[in-house]
Each structure stands twice: as structure tokens, then as C-alpha cells.
């Protein structure tokens, strides 16, 4: 099943998926989700497949345990994955610990034809051969094959705990070492607060948390390696700029709560044309009159407002986005392309990489497309987030000029 022998390099598929909706409505959503996921696997035929999930288990992990088990069993034993004879699954199931629970799930599948792959033991500081299929859950903090952290409490908006953090694993493929980081950053708690300033206060919180992760994975504890960071970054469009652009010719009405005088709603009406309501903005309402603006040309006109990554332009690289905003889609299983009127659509789900990781990706001099950055299930309900993937081939000999960096690739 893995990539054609005529094409050089190792086929790699990196997928990020916020799967919370799948466990809140498993009967209607999981089957379609898995079908679309398997189709992408079949199309790209990776030797190495990484699936990073956020909100694994949904809003109530304890109540979803049986659905979690079924989902994991399906991924590990399905016909579509039968040629992947080795797997590592890391599930944060420690839902009783507010201090530690992140609801992250990281899945790694190795094709039977892939021979030269090993995984780093962070405790022993050595690489180990990967054999068989293993599931590790509950207290991931004690697992030597990964690093997991929840963000410090003072990073959280209003210091309220939520399930945000990261899991890092390290792999060595054909003498090339690289980190894979599953990440979930903070969301916008209120559309009204996000609208107040540019950039928003929430953007600043995400900036601080992402900087924390990047500093952790390049600190002095371990040898440096290239890294791919993929997950739900919760990046949002610059709300103030978007509203000003969408409602250029509108007048704004402010609605305040009678008891507190707090702003609870903003209504933007056309100046003429019978004063038609163009946009209603509330804490959890973003109801714009024409959703097509987010879908036309894959939302390209809105990319100028996608600014949060620019702060990290020297530390993180991303391929050009040519798919529509990945969130917030309707959770109605009959609606595959409709956005919910809760948030301004945005590219929350991303696959980012270090400058050195960019050099690992094989570029084609012919017309053949060897790198694909896209979303999964464009016309199918995949929950409120569309999964996003990067498919590429790791160039033969990648990382060899940096052999000193990878001298720790001693396989046990």
C-alpha cells in the first residue's frame, strides 16, 4: 500500500484533528469521519503516519470511555490500516486531574515496509526500535517515550483550568531525527472581547503559550532536532479588522444589559437597503448574513486577517493555505459545508514546522505533486473541526549534513 517505489524518499502523512464532536455524537459522526480519514491514507499511502487528536473523548471523557475504546480499536484493527504492523497510541485519560488532563491523543502508525525507524526514550536518552502495537494511557507523565505538559495555570485566561497543553515524541527515520508535537492552544472565550482590540487579548495568550512550547522543545535538556508542531492552535482572524471589512458600510447598534450596562450584543445594519442586519455579534454568536465569503476561493480574501503566526515567522514555517477555514462547522451530520453561527470561521487547525524541518521535505522538479497541505472531508460532516493534513516525502539523506545533531540515534 505504501508509496510507489519509483518515487524517492519516505512517504509521511501528518494529520491534526480536534475530535471532540465525534464523542458527543458518535453514532452519526464517527463512521463518516473514519471513512474520510481512511480515504486520505489510501490516497497518500504513507510509510509513516501521525494522527494528533485534541479534545479526545469529547466534553465528558468519563461518559465517553466506551466510545473511546471502540474508536481506538477500529483504528488499530481496520482493513484500511492492515499494512501498518506497528503502532504507538498515547491517550491522556487522566480526566480526574485538573492539573494534568489535556485530552490529547497521539497515534503513530508504521508501514510494514518501513525498516529504519526508531523512537526516542527521553529518560534513557536513547533511541529504541519500534515493534508491535502498544497503547499507553492514563498517567502519561511517567511514560519515558514522550513529554507531556499542561500549560501553567497563570497562562490560562482568568486562571481557569481548561484542557490545553502539548505532547512531544521524537523519532529517527533513516538517521534523521525529528520531533512531533501535538498541541492545543486557548480559544476565544468571547467574540465581544476579541473584537475590542487588534490583536485581541486571546491572541496574546496563544502567543505566550506557543512561545512556551517552542522554548521547551529546543532547550538544553536534549540534542536539538527538526520539529513539526500540528494541532488545534485556535488561531483566529483579527476580529476587529474582519468586522470592519465585512461591515464597511454598516451602522452599529450597541445593546447593553439592563442591570449591569455591560455590552451583550452588537448589531451591524446596512446604511441603506432597508437597514438589513449584516452581522450580529454576541459572546458566542457571530451571525453574518453571507457565509459564502468564508467559502469562496477557499476563503482566500480573508487570509490577510490570519496574522497570529506572523509573530513566529523566524521559528515556524507553514505551506500556503489553499483550503477554507477549518472551524466552526455545523455538527449536524447532514451538513458538510455549513459553518455554525457561533464564531468567525478561522484556520484553527494547522501543520507547522521548524525551518530545518522544511528542508526535510522533498521538492519535485517535475510536475508531479509530492507535497499536499489540505483538509479532510470537504463535503462531509466531520464535527465542528475539519481535520487538516500535510502529506510529503522525506528527502533521501535528509538530515545527513547535520549528523552531529543526530549522534544520539543509537538504537537499542
- Express each pLDDT in 361-397 by its tens digit: 977 665 567 899 999 999 999 999 999 999 999 987 7
In whole angstroms, what is the distance from residue 98 CA to residue 163 CA?
A: 8
> What is the three-state SS of the chain?
CCCCCCCCCEEEEEEEEECHHHHHCHHHHHHHHHHHHHHHHHHHCCCEEEEEEECCCCCCCCCCHHHHHHHHHHHHHCHHHCCEEEEEEEECCCCCCCCCCCCCEEEEEEECCCCCEEEEECCCCEEEECCCEEEECCCHHHCCCCEEEECCHHHCHHHCCCCCEEEEEEEEECCEEEEEEEEECCCCCCHHHHHHCCCCHHHHHHHHHHHHHHHHHCCCCCCCCEEEEEEECCCCCCHHHHHHHHCCCEEEEEEECCCCCCEEEEEEEECCHHHCEEEEEECCEEEECCCHHHHHHHHHHHHHHCCHHHHHCCCCECCCCCCCCCECECCCCCCCCCECCCCCCECCEEEEECHHHHCCECCCCCCCCCCEEEECCCCCCCCCCCCEEEEEEECCCCCHHHHHHHCCCCEC
CA distance 89 to 288: 40
Q: pLDDT digit string (tens) for 229-270?
A: 999 999 999 999 999 999 998 999 999 999 999 999 999 999
Q: Taking the model in full, what pTM does it have?
A: 0.94
Instruction: Calculate the alpha carbon distances from 137 to 28, 53, 69, 83 in Å.
Output: 26, 14, 11, 24
Q: Is the dihedral of CA 157, 323, 4, 40 positive or negative?
A: positive
Q: Interhelix angle for 65-77 vs 26-44, to 10°?
A: 20
Beta bridge partners of 112: none
Residues of the chain with pLDDT under 50: 3-5, 402-412
Fold designation for 10-236+290-394: Deoxyribonuclease I; Chain A (3.60.10)
C-alpha to C-alpha distance for 230 and 390, rounded to whole angstroms: 10
Residue 2 confidence (pLDDT): 55
Amino acid at each position: 500500500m505504501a508509496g510507489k517505489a519509483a518515487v524517492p524518499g519516505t512517504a509521511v502523512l501528518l494529520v491534526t484533528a480536534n475530535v471532540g464532536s465525534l464523542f458527543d455524537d458518535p453514532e452519526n459522526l464517527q463512521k463518516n469521519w473514519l471513512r474520510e480519514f481512511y480515504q486520505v491514507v489510501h490516497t497518500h499511502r504513507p510509510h509513516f503516519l501521525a494522527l494528533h487528536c485534541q479534545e479526545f473523548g469529547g466534553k465528558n471523557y468519563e461518559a465517553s470511555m466506551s466510545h473511546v475504546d471502540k474508536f481506538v480499536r477500529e483504528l488499530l484493527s481496520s482493513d484500511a490500516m492492515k499494512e501498518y504492523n506497528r503502532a504507538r497510541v498515547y491517550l491522556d485519560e487522566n480526566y480526574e486531574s485538573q492539573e494534568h488532563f489535556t485530552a490529547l491523543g497521539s497515534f503513530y502508525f508504521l508501514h510494514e515496509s518501513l525498516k529504519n525507524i526508531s523512537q526516542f526514550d527521553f529518560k534513557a536518552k536513547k533511541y529504541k526500535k519500534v515493534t508491535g502495537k502498544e497503547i499507553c494511557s492514563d498517567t502519561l507523565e511517567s511514560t519515558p517515550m514522550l513529554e507531556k505538559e499542561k500549560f501553567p495555570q497563570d497562562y490560562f485566561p482568568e486562571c481557569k483550568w481548561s484542557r490545553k497543553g502539548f505532547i512531544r515524541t521524537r523519532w529517527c527515520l533513516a538517521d534523521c531525527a525529528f520531533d512531533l508535537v501535538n498541541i492545543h492552544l486557548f480559544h476565544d472565550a468571547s467574540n465581544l472581547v476579541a473584537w475590542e482590540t487588534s490583536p485581541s487579548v486571546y491572541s496574546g495568550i496563544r502567543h505566550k503559550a506557543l512561545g512556551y512550547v517552542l522554548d521547551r522543545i529546543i532547550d538544553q535538556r536534549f540534542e536539538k532536532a527538526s520539529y513539526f508542531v500540528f494541532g488545534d492552535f485556535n488561531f483566529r482572524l483579527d476580529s476587529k479588522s474582519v468586522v470592519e471589512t465585512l461591515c464597511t458600510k454598516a451602522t452599529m447598534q450597541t445593546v447593553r444589559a439592563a442591570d449591569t450596562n455591560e455590552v451583550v450584543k452588537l448589531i451591524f445594519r446596512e446604511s441603506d437597503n432597508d437597514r438589513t442586519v449584516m452581522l450580529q455579534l454576541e459572546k458566542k454568536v457571530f451571525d453574518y448574513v453571507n457565509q459564502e465569503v468564508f467559502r469562496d476561493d477557499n476563503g482566500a480574501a480573508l487570509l490577510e486577517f490570519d496574522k497570529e503566526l506572523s509573530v513566529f515567522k523566524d521559528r515556524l514555517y507553514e505551506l500556503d493555505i489553499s483550503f477554507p477555514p477549518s472551524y466552526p462547522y455545523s455538527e449536524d451530520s447532514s451538513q458538510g459545508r455549513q459553518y455554525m453561527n457561533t464564531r468567525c470561521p478561522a484556520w484553527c487547525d494547522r501543520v507547522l514546522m521548524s525551518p530545518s524541518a522544511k528542508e526535510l521535505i522533498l521538492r519535485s522538479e517535475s510536475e508531479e505533486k509530492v507535497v499536499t497541505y489540505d483538509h479532510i472531508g470537504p463535503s462531509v460532516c466531520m464535527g465542528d473541526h475539519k481535520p487538516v493534513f500535510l502529506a510529503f516525502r522525506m528527502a533521501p539523506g535528509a538530515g545527513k549534513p547535520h549528523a552531529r545533531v543526530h549522534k544520539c540515534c543509537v538504537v537499542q
